[in-house]
Amino acid sequence: MIVQIYAFTDPEQAVAAAEMGVDQIGFVAGHYGEKVPGELSFDAARRLVEALPRTAKAVALTMSTQVDEILRMAEAVGPDFVHVSTDPFDVGLEAMAELRKRLPPSVKLMKAIPVGGQESLQMAIDFAAVSDVLLLDTKVAGMPGVGVTGRTHDWAISRQIVAVVSIPVILAGGLSPNNVAEAIRLVQPWGVDSNTATNIPGDLEKKDMARVQAFVRAARGAVHA
C-alpha cells in the first residue's frame, strides 16, 4: 500500500514524513491565478525534492493547462511524478497523451479524476489509457481543479474504477487516520492520499506530523489486517 501525503511546503517536514514511512511526498509546484494552498516556486519545489531520501518519491502537482508549461515545470523541479490536478478536460486526452510521450521515461504521469456519478467510471477508463496513475478525488463547485476539499465521495464508484482500469489507482478525498482503513477495505486501491486531514487544524500550509504518523500507521495496519 502506497501512502501519499500532500501538500508539503517545508523540506524538513517532508523529510520527517518520509522517515515515518510516507512513500510519496506531494507538493504544489508553481503559482496559479486562483490561489491553491501550499504553492511553491519551481526553485523551492526543487529544493524540497533534493532534500528527500531515496526511499521517498516526489509528486509535483500542477494546475497548469498548457503542455509546454507542465513540461517546463517537470524539467525545473525534477519530480518522480507529475500530478495533473486541473478540471479533467482542461488538460484533456490529447494533451495527456502528448505529456506522457514527451516526459522523460523516469517521470510518471498522474491524473486526478473527480468521482461523482457513474460518468466518472468512463472518464477514468478513458484517462487510464494516457496516464501512468489515476488519483480519485472529490470535486466541489467553486474550487479550482480536483481535490483539496477535505470531503469523501462515493467509494463504491471508486471501487468500480479500481476493478476495471489496468493502471495503479490512488484513493484521495477526505481520508484521515479515522477512515483510511475502511476506505482501503472497501476500495482496495494501490495507494491512499491525505491532505487536509493531516494539516494543522486551520492551517492549509503546515502539516501536523502526529496526524501524518497516525495516517501512516492506520493505512499500514489496514493492509496487515
Per-residue pLDDT, 151: 74
Per-residue pLDDT, 150: 62
Q: Which domain holds residue 193?
A: 2-224
Apex 89 CA angle, 172 and 60, nearest 5: 50
Per-residue pLDDT, 3: 98
Calculate the alpha carbon distances from 14 to 31, 91, 111, 145 in Å. Answer: 20, 28, 22, 24
Per-residue tens of pLDDT for the chain, all 225 residues: 999 999 999 999 999 999 999 999 999 999 986 667 889 999 999 999 999 999 999 999 999 999 999 999 999 999 999 999 998 999 999 999 999 999 999 999 999 999 988 889 999 999 999 999 999 998 656 555 676 666 777 999 999 999 999 999 999 999 999 999 999 999 999 999 999 899 998 887 889 999 999 999 999 998 766
* pTM confidence score: 0.94
Per-residue pLDDT, 143: 59
The enclosing domain of 134 has a CATH number of 3.20.20.70
The answer to whether the peptide bond before residue 18 is cis (omega within 30 degrees of 0) is: no
Nearest residue to 10 (alpha-carbon basis) of 177, 148, 172, 209: 209
- Give the total number of structural domains in the chain: 1
In this structure, the dihedral spanned by the alpha carbons of residues 126, 153, 211 and 12, taken in order and rounded to 10 degrees, is 30
CB 207 within 8 A of CB 39: no
Per-residue pLDDT, 166: 97
Please report where in the chains the cell 478536460 appears, as a residue.
Answer: 89
Cβ of 178: how many Cβ atoms within 10 Å? 11
